[in-house]
Amino acid sequence: MVRELTHFIGGQHVAGTSGRFSDVFDPNTGLVQARVPLASTAEVEAAIANAAEAQLVWGAWNPQRRARVLLKFLDLIAKDMDSLARLLSSEHGKTVADARGDIQRGVEVIEFAVGAPHLLKGEYSVGAGTGIDVYSMRQPLGVVAGITPFNFPAMIPLWKMGPALAAGNSFILKPSERDPSVPLRIAELFLEAGLPAGVLNVVNGDKAAVDALLTDERVMAIGFVGSTPIAQYIYQTAAAHGKRAQCFGGAKNHMIVMPDADLDQVADALMGAGYGSAGERCMAISVAVPVGAETGDALAAKLAERVAHLTVGHSLDDAADYGPLINRDAVTRVSAAIQAGIDAGATLLADGRGHTVAGYENGFFLGPTLFDHVRTDMELYREEIFGPVLIITRADTYEDALALASDHKYGNGVSIFTRDGDTARDFAARVNVGMVGVNVPIPVPIAYHTFGGWKKSGFGDLNQHGPDSFRFYTKTKTVTSRWPSGIKEGASFVMPLMLE
């Protein structure tokens, strides 16, 4: 039976009225499991109106009272974790264990946002001048919005809405239309936790919904995660309409492998970092960079051996290392990238095309693919593939390897595996990439540090979660205060100075 999904506006599930729908597939079977409505401009405007009205009440709550709602939400989502993970898995295709990780990393940002009473404190200077005090306060922006991708349907919405709500804003979420059920469930849990109706709205849609959020003057800020072309479009359009924007795009994350590294540790790390979640992670390691011919030969052999033993299966199968891709178009696109690599002359060590899972022959499965001797002029190296494809691009020296990661157009994440502290320290300081791992394959920072890439991977001055998130979702007001003690000084036409 095909489920009919809704929007979530004003604290209620609301049926779509645009007459336009998108199919939500079960990636394991290839069958349609739900239909999601695609909002019209009018439907988005209704959500904005609800959010604007509700924010006046929510923003007036003190930060501690708002934090209590987040604490209650944490309790509810913990109780709902198993069913939520299975729901996420059924629409996305990642394994249930990986889905739990998706939710948990989002939960950690909510835990951080519970500290809003401290994070929203301003600054105070007593006696800045004679009888004059100066202080600042952080205040909510008003209505803010998030446009989030299919690959983390729980984590990234929570990354954005947690700090935004804790800071006193109302939030409109436009999740991916490919797997929208988890975001809708999250909205239900927030309402159950005591969030006033209308403070969090979920509007499903496509470009029409996105453009409505970008152009409506009541929406003060936009957060986005997705492909680089769309990130650039949203950033530029938001800026043109006077909005704040933090937009994160594509990636081509490198792992530098020094000759002194433990290659068994490296190979195991690359299995999870390259093929986990079918490679559909913006922080996936997709380029292994061994330094030196001997390191390259040994690493290629170890990777080929491990790839042959990976298990690709149904996302609910506990024995599966990873499940299907999100849809048929993704399989077609990644398969074309593999063929382009072969045509360009890269050495194919493992070909995942044509992979099937018994009983699920129509699922969107693709086996692990491994290339060696990939040159920097190949499309396989230049572009993000977003699938279970790991490439080896060799470097003769450490400086060559450093340059590969630094010069690539993307600058999301990078990692180095080495036993030498001097090398690791030099690399972390010099590499032109936003997030760095040292003997850590996927360098996603913990919730109280900030997450964000450089170059074509990120657009905007402030990043996700950590202290940056509260700076992004608030505006600073500075007050200069004086209480005269009956002294009459007369008019002054000189720029005021605080010299005494």
pLDDT of 66-85, one tens digit each? 999 999 999 999 999 999 99
43 within some domain = yes
498 within some domain = no
Q: How far is CA 420 from CA 204, 415, 433, in A?
A: 49, 14, 20
Query: 180 and 61, same structural domain?
Result: yes
The residue among 419, 438, 457 that closes a domain is 438
Query: 257 and 242, same structural domain?
Result: no
Domain that holds residue 242: 3-249
477 within some domain = no
Q: In which band, very low, low, confident or very high, does the pLDDT at 385 lie, cut at 50, 70 and 90?
A: very high
Q: What is the CATH number of the domain that holds 374?
A: 3.40.309.10
| Rounded-to-10 torsion of CA 114, 193, 53, 66 | -20
Catalytic member of 282, 299, 300, 402: 282
The residue among 438, 460, 487 that closes a domain is 438
Query: 402 and 334, same structural domain?
Result: yes
Query: 298 and 192, same structural domain?
Result: no
pLDDT reading at 460 higher than 80: yes
443 within some domain = no
pLDDT for position 54: 98
Cβ density class 312-343: b for 16+ within 10 Å, e for less = bbbbebeebbbbbbbbeebbeebbebbeebee
Q: In which band, very low, low, confident or very high, does the pLDDT at 130 lie, cut at 50, 70 and 90?
A: confident
Do residues 315 and 95 make contact, with C-beta atoms less than 8 angstroms apart?
Answer: yes
Region class of 279: left (phi > 0), else alpha (psi between -120 and 50), else beta: left
Q: What is the CATH number of the domain that holds 17?
A: 3.40.605.10
Alpha carbon distance 473, 460 (integer Å):
13
How many separate domains does the chain show? Answer: 2
Q: In which band, very low, low, confident or very high, does the pLDDT at 484 lie, cut at 50, 70 and 90?
A: confident
**Tens digits of per-residue pLDDT, 19-39?**
999 999 999 999 999 999 999
Alpha carbon distance 192, 174 (integer Å):
21
Query: 331 and 257, same structural domain?
Result: yes
Q: What is the 3-state secondary structure (H, E, C) of 131-174?
A: CEEEEEEEEECCEEEEECCCCCCCHHHHHHHHHHHHCCCEEEEE
Backbone angles phi and psi of 73, in degrees to 5: -60, -40
466 within some domain = no
Cβ density class 155-183: b for 16+ within 10 Å, e for less = bbbbbbbbbbbbbbbbbbbbbbbbbbbbb
pLDDT for position 110: 97
pLDDT for position 500: 55
pLDDT for position 494: 72
Query: 243 and 177, same structural domain?
Result: yes
Do residues 200 and 66 make contact, with C-beta atoms less than 8 angstroms apart?
Answer: no
467 within some domain = no
Percent of the chain scored above 90 by pLDDT? Answer: 92
**Tens digits of per-residue pLDDT, 289-315?**
999 999 999 999 999 999 999 999 999
The residue among 249, 274, 309 that closes a domain is 249
pLDDT reading at 5 higher than 90: yes
Alpha carbon distance 159, 155 (integer Å):
6
pLDDT for position 486: 63
Q: Which residue has the tokens 């920072």?
A: 445
Whether 282 is catalytic: yes
419 within some domain = yes
Query: 109 and 227, same structural domain?
Result: yes
Percent of the chain scored above 70 by pLDDT? Answer: 98
Query: 215 and 155, same structural domain?
Result: yes
285 within some domain = yes
Tokens of 130: 């004679």
Alpha carbon distance 483, 500 (integer Å):
16
pLDDT reading at 416 higher than 70: yes
Backbone angles phi and psi of 348, in degrees to 5: -85, 115
Query: 274 and 186, same structural domain?
Result: no
Rounded mean pLDDT, 96-114: 97
Query: 237 and 307, same structural domain?
Result: no
236 CA to centre of own chain: 19
Backbone angles phi and psi of 390, in degrees to 5: -115, 130
pLDDT reading at 271 higher than 70: yes
pLDDT for position 418: 98
pLDDT for position 74: 98
**Tens digits of per-residue pLDDT, 436-450?**
999 999 888 988 999
Query: 234 and 295, same structural domain?
Result: no
pTM confidence score: 0.94
Rounded mean pLDDT, 394-407: 98
Rounded mean pLDDT, 246-256: 96
Over the chain, what is the mean pLDDT? 95
Alpha carbon distance 140, 147 (integer Å):
19
Query: 309 and 174, same structural domain?
Result: no
Q: In which band, very low, low, confident or very high, does the pLDDT at 493 lie, cut at 50, 70 and 90?
A: confident
Q: Which helix (H) or strand (E) holds 455?
A: strand 454-455
Do residues 302 and 264 make contact, with C-beta atoms less than 8 angstroms apart?
Answer: yes
Q: In which band, very low, low, confident or very high, does the pLDDT at 131 lie, cut at 50, 70 and 90?
A: confident
Rounded mean pLDDT, 162-166: 98
Q: In which band, very low, low, confident or very high, does the pLDDT at 178 lie, cut at 50, 70 and 90?
A: very high
